[in-house]
Structure 1
Amino acid sequence: MRIGWKLALVGLLLVLLLLPLALLDGLVSERQQRGREVAAEIARATAGEQALVGPLLLVEAEHRTERRRVVNRGGQMSEETEESLQPVHYLVGPESLDIEASLTTEKRGRSLFSVPVYLASQQITGRFRHVAPPVDVGELRPRRAWLVLGLGDNRGVRRIGVTLAGRAATVEPGSRVAWLGEGLHVPVPLAALDGELPFAVDLALAGTGSLAWAPVGDENSIRLAGDWPHPGFEGHHLPDQREVGEAGFSARWAVSRLSSRVSQALADCGPTDGACSGVFEGAFGLRLVEPVDRYLMTERAMKYALLFLGLVFGAVFLVEALAERPVHFVQYGLTGLAMAMFYLLLLSLSEHVGFGPAYAAAALACSTLLGYYLAGVLGGRGRGIGFGLGLAGLYGLLYLLLRSEDHALLVGSGVLFAALASVMALTRRVDWHRLGRA
C-alpha cells in the first residue's frame, strides 16, 4: 500500500476513535452529575452551605414629626401642633465582632459517592452601641429591638446559647429581616439600648460545602482552625495569617469597616428590603476542597487522548516504514481501542480505589497489553517491550501533568518538541520517495 494511502487510513482511524472517546466523556459527565445529585441529597438531609451575617441589632422605632399650623376658630386665629407617627425599622452593626471557631469534618456518602460534612463550633462575642440613623426632621423613638443572626440553613443549628449584658436570653427562630431569609432572633430590652450592650453567642453549626462570614462590625476578628487538610479560602478577603498541613489548618482574618463595603451596605439596606447583595458580596470564608476529584482528573486526562493516539500511531508507522514491517489497518484499530480502554479502566477503578492507584493499575494493564500485542505485530520482542515501556513513560508523564496543572503547558510543549526532534533525527536519511512507491 502506498504511503499516502496508509497515512490517510491512519488519519481516518484516528477520527473514528473519537467516537468511543466521546462516549466515555459522556459517561464521565453522567457520573459527575450523579455525584452532584448525591451531594445535594446529603445537603438536603443535613444542612447546606452556611453563611453567617451578624449578630445585628434590629430596631423598630417611631418617627415622630410635628407640624404647626394656624387655624381660624370663630374669627380668632390660633396656632395648633399636629403630630405624626410613622413606624421605622433599621439595623445597627456591632462596634466589635470577635469569632473563635473550630471545625471538624466527616465523610458522609451514598453508594460510591461521598461528601465532607462539617461541624463548626463558634464563640461569637462583641458589643453594640445603639446610634439611631439621622433624620431630616423630627426624631426616632425606639419601641422594640432584637438581636438577629442570619444563617445559610437553620437545620444546621446543633447548639446555641446567647447572653446579653451577661444575662441569658431566649432564642427564637426567624431573622425578622426580609433579605436574610433564614436565621434566629433574640428580644432585646429597650433599656439596654441606652448604653454599651455586650453580647456572646455559643453556636455549633453543621453544614456542607462552605462556611462564610460577613464582616458586619466596625472591627472584625475571625480565627478558624479545622482538621480538613485542603481548605480553599475564598471571598472578598483572604486570611491575614494561615497555616495548612496534613493534620489540618488554621487561619485568621482581621477586617475593619474601612476596608469593607458591608457596613455601608447595611446602612443602605432596610430590614424590609427584598435583597441586600452588598452584604453577601463582602463575605469571606472557606470551602472544603476535595484534594483529588476523580471525575475531574479523568476528564482532564481524556483531553490528552488524541495526542496519545497520534504519538503511538506515529511511532508504529515510523517502525513500519523504517523496518519495512507492514502493519494492517485492523492492527492500528485494535491498538487505538486498547488505548481508549485505559480511560474506561481509570474511571471504573477510581470509584473504588481512588484516582492514584486506579491510574497506576490502568496504565500498567494497557502498557503490558500493547507491549505484548505490538511484539507480534512489529516482529520482535524487543520492539514490543520498547513500545510498552515508552507508553508507560507517556502515562507517567501524563500523571505528572495532571498533578501539576501550572506547569502542564511547559512540560507538554517540551515533550512534543522532543518527540518531533526524535522523529526528524531518525528519518533524516530516509528516502520517502522510495517508500511512497512501495
Structure 2
Amino acid sequence: MNTQKQKIGNWFKNSISAKMLMVGFLILILLIPLGFVKDLIRERGFRQHEVIEEINSKWGKQVVMNGPILKVPYNVFVEEKVFDEKTKTFLKSQKAVRHHAYFFPWELHIDSNVETQPLERGIYESVVFTAKTKMKGSFAKLNFSANEVQEENILWDKATVLFKTSNLKGIRNTVKVKLGAEEYALKPKFDNSYMNTLESGFLKDLKSIQEGSISFSSSVDINGSSTLQFIPIGKETQVFMKSNWHSPSFNGNFLPETERKKISASGFEAHWKVLETNRRFGQYFFDNLPDLSEFSLGTEFMVPVDDYQKTERTSKYGLMIIGLTLLVFLLIQISSKIVIHPFQYLMIGLALVMFYTLLISISEHRNYLFAYLVAGIAVVGLITIYSRSILKNPKFTLLVLGSMFSLYAFIFVIIQLEDYALLVGSIGLFVILGTIMFTSRKIDWSGGTN
C-alpha cells in the first residue's frame, strides 16, 4: 500500500502531465475570485450610472425641441337626430364639432450655443449642458383645402402657437414667440401628447397670413444632459450648433453637412439643412399632431469610454493573463527541474486577480492610466520578487518580469484602441502562441530535456 502511494506521489512530482493538470485545475479555481471581481466592477459601474441619472434628472435630462407650430381650430358640422316628445318624431339638426389644424413654418432657422460643464457627486461625475437657442423664420399661407374646410368655419380668433419639448423642467427663461408685430408668452398646458406642451393665448389678426407671410422669432434657454435634438419641421430647416464639447456624436435622422462640420479639442461647430422633401411628413396635420421624434437631428454629448468600461474590458482578459503567466512558470519548472509547489502557483494567481481590484479602486479616484500603471507595477513587482525566491535564478526572474511586462503592456494597448482592437489583439495572440511554441520545442515531454 505504501509502495502504491509512493508511486502516485512520484508521478505527481515528476510527471509533466500531472504538473499540467495541476496548473489547469488551479486556473479553473482562480476563475471563482476573478468572477467575483468582475461582478464588483459591474456593480460599481451600475452605481455610477444610477448617480449620473440622478444628477441629470435634477439638472435636466435629454432635450428634444419641436416648434413653433400654429394651432388653428375649425368647426365641422355633423348632422344629428333628436327625438321630439311632442311630435313623436326625429328632428334633424346640425352640431358644430371643434377640430384643430397644425401648421409648420415655411422657413425655420435655429441657432444653438451649447455650454457644457461637469457636475460631481462624491467620486462620480456627469456632463450636463445649457443650450441658448434662438429660432426665427416665417409662416406662409395656411392650406385648409386638403381637408375641405370652408373659410367661414375657420376660427381665426381662437388660433394659438405651440412649442413642444421633452424637458419642460430644464427651461430657464419665459418662452416667448414674436409673431409679426405681436409677442406672446407661452405657458404650460397639460395634455396627453407625446411631449410637454407650451401654448400661447389667442393670436391677433392671424387671418392676414392668408394674404402673405408672417415672420416669427423666439429664444429658449434650457438645461439638459446627454442629448440635444431638434425636429426639422420647416419646409426648409437650417440648424447651426456650436459647443465647447470636444467629443460630439451626431445622431438622429439627419447628419450635419460635412463641409460645415468642425471638431477640435476646444469644441465643435455643425450645420444641418433639411428640406420637406427629405422627410416623410408634410407641413400640416389635421386633428392630431403625431410624435415626430424619430425625424429629429442633433448631438449626443458623448462621454468617451469611462474608466468603469475600460476596467470591465480589461477584466475580460483576466483568464488570458492568469493562464499565460502560470504557463511561463510551468515551462520554467519543466525545463529547469525547479520544484514549484501548488500553493506557490495559487499565490501567484491570486496576485494576478488582485490587479483588477487595485485597478477599479484606484481608477475611482484617479484616471484609468494612473490606476493601470500603479496596479500593474505593484502586481508585476510583487510576483517578480516572489519568483526570485522560488526560482533561485536571476535569468528566470528576468524572464518572468519581461513576460508579465509585455502582457500588461499588450492589454493596455488593446484597451486604448477601439477600431483596431480586434486586429491588434489577434496579431498579438498569434505572436504569443508562436513564442510559446518556439521556446517549448526542445522540451522532452516524456520527462526530460534535450
Q: TM-score, normalization: structure 1? A: 0.89
Cα distance in 1 for partners of 2:143, 2:183 equals 24
Match of residue 253, structure 1, among 269, 272, 276? 272
Q: Report whether the alignment pairs 1:58 with 2:76.
A: no
Match of residue 397, structure 1, among 403, 407, 410? 410
Secondary structure of the structure 1 residue equivalent to 2:193? helix
Match of residue 169, structure 2, among 147, 155, 161? 155
User: Are residues 135 and 34 of structure 1, via their aligned partners in 2, closer, same or farther at CA, if it must alter by over 3 Å?
Assistant: same
Cα distance in 1 for partners of 2:105, 2:346 equals 70
- Deviation of the 1:26 alpha carbon: 1.2
Gap runs ≥5 in structure 1: 68-79
User: Are residues 424 and 55 of structure 1, via their aligned partners in 2, closer, same or farther at CA, if it must alter by over 3 Å?
Assistant: same
Q: How does 1:353-432 map to 2 (within 5 A)?
A: 353-432=366-445
User: Are residues 431 and 342 of structure 1, via their aligned partners in 2, closer, same or farther at CA, if it must alter by over 3 Å?
Assistant: same
Secondary structure of the structure 1 residue equivalent to 2:447? helix
Say which is worse superposed, 353-362 or 82-91, in terms of deviation.
82-91
Listed one character per residue, the Cα deviations across residues 117-173 of structure 1 (whole Å, up to 9, x for unaligned) are: 100001111111222252357564124111111111111111233211143222212
Whether contact under 8 Å (1:98, 1:124) holds in the other structure is yes
Secondary structure of the structure 2 residue equivalent to 1:434? coil
Cα distance in 2 for partners of 1:303, 1:194 equals 68
- Deviation of the 1:177 alpha carbon: 5.9
- Deviation of the 1:98 alpha carbon: 0.6
User: Which amino acid letter does the alignment assign opposite residue 385 of structure 1?
Assistant: L
User: Which amino acid letter does the alignment assign opposite residue 307 of structure 2?
Assistant: R
Cα distance in 2 for partners of 1:416, 1:259 equals 48
User: Which amino acid letter does the alignment assign opposite residue 106 of structure 2?
Assistant: E
Listed one character per residue, the Cα deviations across residues 349-376 of structure 1 (whole Å, up to 9, x for unaligned) are: 1111111111111111111111111122
Cα distance in 1 for partners of 2:135, 2:448 equals 80
Match of residue 115, structure 2, among 104, 116, 124? 104
Secondary structure of the structure 2 residue equivalent to 1:410? helix
Whether contact under 8 Å (1:376, 1:384) holds in the other structure is no
Gap runs ≥5 in structure 2: 1-12, 81-90
- Deviation of the 1:193 alpha carbon: 3.8
- Which residue does the alignment assign to 1:238? 255
What RMSD in Å do the two structures reach over aligned CA positions? 2.3
Cα distance in 1 for partners of 2:150, 2:100 equals 16
User: Which amino acid letter does the alignment assign opposite residue 253 of structure 1?
Assistant: W
User: Which amino acid letter does the alignment assign opposite residue 376 of structure 1?
Assistant: S
- Which residue does the alignment assign to 2:86? none
Whether contact under 8 Å (1:100, 1:222) holds in the other structure is yes
Match of residue 102, structure 2, among 77, 87, 91? 91
Cα distance in 2 for partners of 1:28, 1:331 equals 27
Q: Report whether the alignment pairs 1:229 with 2:240.
A: no
Whether contact under 8 Å (1:217, 1:263) holds in the other structure is no
- Which residue does the alignment assign to 1:329? 342
- Which residue does the alignment assign to 1:172? 187
Q: Report whether the alignment pairs 1:312 with 2:330.
A: no
Cα distance in 2 for partners of 1:413, 1:15 equals 24
Q: Report whether the alignment pairs 1:267 with 2:285.
A: yes
Q: How does 1:104-123 map to 2 (within 5 A)?
A: 104-123=115-134
The runs of at least 4 consecutive aligned structure 1 residues that moved more than 6 Å come to none
- Which residue does the alignment assign to 1:280? 293
Match of residue 6, structure 1, among 4, 16, 19? 19
Cα distance in 1 for partners of 2:169, 2:31 equals 47
Whether contact under 8 Å (2:261, 2:268) holds in the other structure is yes
- Deviation of the 1:292 alpha carbon: 3.4
Secondary structure of the structure 1 residue equivalent to 2:382? helix
Whether contact under 8 Å (2:72, 2:154) holds in the other structure is no
Cα distance in 2 for partners of 1:288, 1:344 equals 30
- Which residue does the alignment assign to 1:131? 143
- Which residue does the alignment assign to 2:8? none
Whether contact under 8 Å (1:65, 1:138) holds in the other structure is no
Cα distance in 1 for partners of 2:145, 2:391 equals 86
Secondary structure of the structure 1 residue equivalent to 2:425? helix
- Which residue does the alignment assign to 2:198? 184
Whether contact under 8 Å (2:410, 2:428) holds in the other structure is no
Cα distance in 1 for partners of 2:358, 2:172 equals 43
Whether contact under 8 Å (2:107, 2:237) holds in the other structure is yes
Q: Return the structure number with greater strand share.
A: 1
Whether contact under 8 Å (1:149, 1:183) holds in the other structure is yes
Whether contact under 8 Å (1:3, 1:435) holds in the other structure is no
Listed one character per residue, the Cα deviations across residues 276-314 of structure 1 (whole Å, up to 9, x for unaligned) are: 34x111112111211231111111111111111111111
- Deviation of the 1:12 alpha carbon: 1.2
Q: How many percent of aligned residue pairs carry the same amino acid?
A: 27
Cα distance in 1 for partners of 2:150, 2:117 equals 56
Whether contact under 8 Å (2:56, 2:224) holds in the other structure is yes
Cα distance in 1 for partners of 2:208, 2:192 equals 26
Cα distance in 1 for partners of 2:145, 2:103 equals 9
Secondary structure of the structure 1 residue equivalent to 2:222? strand
User: Which amino acid letter does the alignment assign opposite residue 223 of structure 2?
Assistant: A
